[in-house]
Structure 1
Amino acid sequence: MQPKPSRKPQPPRFPCQARTRLGHLCKSPSMPNGRCRMHGGTNPGAPKGNRNAWKHGGRSRETIEMRRKIARLNCEMRDRLD
């Protein structure tokens, strides 16, 4: 049986900087942002502005205008064929 490979020494982790309701520090190890995974999270949130509301562009102003033009052209073509 071979011995287990030794792990690399981990850098020291400082405690999370979040405070409890009693005023004590959280005892979990912190991430680079100074908070633990429960208090700091890995996701900074949605992008600023309305860019995060854009899904596919099917209801954008340009698409709606283009659909109206196509509908108008279809009506004109039907009228000319009759």
Structure 2
Amino acid sequence: MADEVSIKPIHRRWPMQDCPRCGARTRQGTACLAPAVRGKKRCRMHGGAKGSGGQSGRANGRYRTGRYTREANEMRQMVTGLLREVLKLVEKS
């Protein structure tokens, strides 16, 4: 056998390959493979871009009003019970 020269492909590393990856999960449950925005932990599609993210206050779906707290539910049940008793008394008279 003559001179065998093993030719290996040149493996280059691009700057984008070395940067940190987005920490978000895709709809399939796998990790997002996109590079994170500089200085952030998410890619541009998952909230790393300037101005991205949910609205604040009522426009966001997680706004809490206190309407369905335990105390509010108990108060509504008490008022409903009192109204039923009053309606029964009115119907009897």
Please indicate, yes or no, whether the TM-score normalized by the shorter chain is above 0.5: no
Q: Find the structure with the greater CA-based Rg.
A: 2
Instruction: Compute the TM-score of the two structures, normalised by the length of structure 2.
Output: 0.34
Instruction: Compute the TM-score of the two structures, normalised by the length of structure 1.
Output: 0.37
